[in-house]
Structures are given as structure tokens and as C-alpha cells.
Structure 1
Amino acid sequence: MKEKNLLPVNIKIKVSTMKSQLNLVKYILAVAGVATLSAVSAAPASAIGLAPASAFSFANIVGGDTPGDAYANSFSFDVIDQGSSVLFNIFNSGNPTASDMFISKVLFDDNGYLSNAVANVANIGNVAFTGGAGNDQLPQGGNGFTTDYAFSRNTGGGNKWGIQGGETLGLSFTGNYANVVSALNTGALKLGLHVQALPNGASDSYISSTSNTEATPEPLTMLAAGAAVGFGTMFKKQRDRAQKAE
């Protein structure tokens, strides 16, 4: 009995290459990393060492002096939740056209939201202020600003103790963070600044604005979002290359 000749049959089997396996591993690790970052950033701020904070700006006083109107955006502050207390960081970002200007006074129209004032908390720069409960009137503040706390730069040494460009003054108070931020938003709590050494030896005053407060993003939230976008772009490019190669 003759054996039948067997016809060769060619079967193509697509075997995953090492590169595709590595890409799969990368994908799994990337997804796991994004999930971990998202979970951590969604945790309470206190659980991951991040304190809630809100940023505020200052505005010109309507009807007041005008020499410093162009420099209002150089001054700002944020409020940081410290549990039973709140920390105000007062910033002077500086301006090249008024490089000598400095904040000489910081005043609070409080209405009962703050107590137990402490000055010079983690200052940045050559800054030193003295003050506490007081009624030192804000220049140009008028009847719309009643001072409850007043802080002035230390005397001696010229202007060096004021808040110069790039420097920060820290002021701490006992207070409830949520209530303080809400009061700043409505204007029930206001801050006032007196700025000196403007061009031509002028000075001006500013009051905290209620129109453009913003929550400070938590760093891990921004990291997780950035990672997700980056990984998504990477996977799309790899998928497009794989489809063209098939």
C-alpha cells in the first residue's frame, strides 16, 4: 500500500515579540503608577502632609492716591491651614520699574475671625516686623477699613526690614481656616498694605481683593494629572506605530 504524499501546509503564527511584551509590562506599570498617584492625591491633605491653602491679591483703593496703581499686581498673599491656626504669607514679587518699593505696614480689618497674632513666622528674606492688636489706620483706608491688627517693619537700618521684592512676611493667628477664607471672599475680613519708596518717593496703599481668590492646587494632584496625560500620549503613539506595521 502506497503512502499518500502529504502536502506541506504553511501556517503563520504571530508570536508576540519581546518588544510587545515589554510594552505590555510598561503599560501595566504605568497604569498602576497613575492609579497610585491618583489615590494618594485624593487622600485628605492632612494624611499626606499637605495643608489646604488659598491665594489672594490686592487691589487699588477706589478714590485713593494713584502713584502705586500700576504696581498692585506685585503684591499678594496666601492663607495656609495649620489646624487650629492660619498662616498668612504676604508677598512682594517686585517690579523692575519700581525696584526700591517695599511693604512697610500690613493691617487687618478682622471682625472677630482672628486672635493670638504672631509675627515673623518663616519669613523669606531680610524681613522683620513688629505688631499685634492695634488701631493704626491704613493710609487712604477711610471709613471702610477699621484696623484690628497692625504690623510695621522694624525701625533702624533704613528700609531693609520691610518686605522688599522677592521677600515674604509670615503672620500666624489662631483661627478657623474655612471661616477665614470665606470672610476674605466676602470682604468681612480684609488686609491692607502700605507701600513706600515708589518712584519719585511716593507711597500708596492697597486692600485685599475679593474677586480673584483661588485654591492652591495640591502638588500630587497636578503630578497625577500630568502623568495620566503623558502616559496616554505615549500609548497612543505606540498603538499607531503597531497598526502601521501590521
Structure 2
Amino acid sequence: MVYIEYVKEKNLLPVNIKIKVSTMNFQLNLVKSILAVAGVAAVSAVSAAPASAVGFSFSNIVGGDNPGDAYQSNFTFDVLEQGESVLFNISNSGNAAAPSMFISKVLFDDNNFLSNAATNIAANIGTVAFTGGVGDDQLPQGGNGFTTNYAFSSDNGGGNKWGVQAGETLGLKFTGNYANVVSALNTGALKLGLHVQALPNGASDSYISSTSNTEATPEPLTMLAAGAAVGFGAMFKKQRDQAQKAQ
């Protein structure tokens, strides 16, 4: 409400004036925001890697020792696509009941799906260092027809300092076709074996990879599209509300 002074009688006369604010600025700002987010999405899409990833778990060896049976779910690995290579990220999530346990050996029963092994790459998380490559080191307990083609052991004689301890990850990279590798893991044509030490009472145990993946990680473009959709929606609502308040 605006008051206009009546000059002769010095009275204040109330006058209602409705002011309509143009939505032009709102529309322009919205377009600018959408273009900015789209630009970030495009850059992220170009640099996004890996293209896809699948997670796997480990199982106990049937008929083998059982001191580590309660901890099998604490060991997992992801397989990531990296062009003509595949990256295995092998992790120990840790367990309060066995805080000292660590992975001392990682073995592969390959059947010619992998080649050109590389260790101690940037994917390592924590104080982790392994040495190995083509080899026939046997998985303790054996079992399940496991035949070693690649063998990797923690440095310093397999001690826990360089092993995969709680919260740590070992990265092993190979040349290989991602789709074929994942398929072979699901059928058991390709298997991973772990030797875990420092279980309660000084025990150790071994595990073999399960033949079904535990999770599929969306490709970066899929995640990007979903994120952009949420971002656009939130941005549009915020600017629309601001425009309505100004009217």
C-alpha cells in the first residue's frame, strides 16, 4: 500500500498499487543454470573412468579349515573396466572380532583371460605392497580344483605390515577383456583365492571367489544423468519460488 499526500488538505489518501515483476530474469537465469550444469556434466562424462564396475565376494573352501568362516564377508573385490585393461581392487573391510587379520596372498586361477600383470599401482589404499606375477604358488587348503596361474604375496616375507589390513585395498591390473572377465568370474572359469593370516588364536584361512557378483556399479554417464536430473529439478523449483515471491 502506498500513501499519496493530498496537497490542499494535507490528508493522506491510501492507494493500492499492484506491481507485476517480469519473469524474464527468472527465465534467463534458469537457462544459464541449465547450460552451466550441462557443461559440467559434459566435462565429467569425458573424464569419467572406469566405464563400469562389478563387485564380488568370497566363500569358504568346502571341506577346508574353518577358523575364518565367520569373516568371509569382510573380504570383497571389485572388477573395473579400464580400456583394454581390467583392475581388481581387493579389500579387507575389517572386523572387530579379528582386528589383526590381513590378506597375505592373492592367487588367480586364470584360464587365459588375463595377461601382463601389474602390482603396486595407484589403486592401492593404505600401507600395501605386493610382489608377484605368473606363478604356481598353491592356495593353502587347495580344494575346488583351484590351479594357480598368477600369485601375489605381501612384501617383507608375507608380514602384516604390507598385507591388506582392515580398511585397506590392493589393486592388481591386467590386460583383459572386461566383459569376458566378468562372465568368467560368474561361471567360475576365472577364480581368485585369498590366504588370510592373524585370525584369532593365531589361525589362518583361505577363501575362493564366489561365482556370482554382489553388486553392479552404474556407469558414470548413468549416474551423471540421474544427478543432472535431480539438480535441474531442485534448481527449477528454487528459482520458480523466488520468482513467485517477487510477484
Q: For residues 15-73 of structure 1, what are the alpha-carbon distances to aligned partners after superposition, in whole Å with 9 as ceiling and x for unaligned?
A: 334xx4443233223433454456566x6xxx435222422222223343332222222
After superposition, where does 1:51-200 map in structure 2 within 5 Å?
51-54=50-53, 55-122=55-122, 123-156=124-157, 158-200=159-201
After superposition, where does 1:227-242 map in structure 2 within 5 Å?
227-233=228-234, 235-236=236-237
Q: Is the 8 A contact 2:61 2:144 kept in 1?
A: no
Structure 1 residue 173, shift from structure 2 partner:
2.0
What residue number does 2:217 align with?
216
Structure 2 stretches lacking a partner, 5+ long: 1-16
Structure 1 stretches lacking a partner, 5+ long: 1-11
Q: Is the 8 A contact 1:191 1:207 kept in 2?
A: yes
Q: Is the 8 A contact 1:34 1:228 kept in 2?
A: no
Q: Secondary structure at the match of 1:144?
A: coil
Structure 1 residue 193, shift from structure 2 partner:
0.5
More strand by share: 2
Over aligned residues, Cα RMSD in angstroms? 3.0
In 2: Cα distance, 1:65 partner to 1:175 partner: 33
**Corresponding letter in the other structure for 2:62:** V
The alignment status of 1:50 with 2:55, answered yes or no, reads no
Structure 1 residue 156, shift from structure 2 partner:
4.8
Of the structure 1 ranges 209-218 and 159-168, higher mean CA displacement relative to structure 2 is found in: 209-218
**Corresponding letter in the other structure for 1:15:** K
**Corresponding letter in the other structure for 2:20:** V
The change in CA–CA distance for 1:24 and 1:136 in structure 2 (over 3 A counts) is: same
Output the TM-score relative to the length of structure 2.
0.77
Output the TM-score relative to the length of structure 1.
0.77
Structure 1 residue 142, shift from structure 2 partner:
0.9
In 2: Cα distance, 1:137 partner to 1:148 partner: 10
Structure 1 residue 243, shift from structure 2 partner:
7.8
In 1: Cα distance, 2:51 partner to 2:238 partner: 37
In 1: Cα distance, 2:127 partner to 2:64 partner: 30
Q: How many residues align?
A: 229
What residue number does 2:21 align with?
16
In 2: Cα distance, 1:148 partner to 1:68 partner: 24
The alignment status of 1:27 with 2:30, answered yes or no, reads yes
Q: Secondary structure at the match of 2:171?
A: strand
**Corresponding letter in the other structure for 2:233:** G
Of the structure 1 ranges 194-203 and 177-186, higher mean CA displacement relative to structure 2 is found in: 177-186
The change in CA–CA distance for 1:157 and 1:185 in structure 2 (over 3 A counts) is: closer
Identity %, equivalent residues: 72
Q: Is the 8 A contact 2:107 2:149 kept in 1?
A: yes
Q: Secondary structure at the match of 2:58?
A: strand
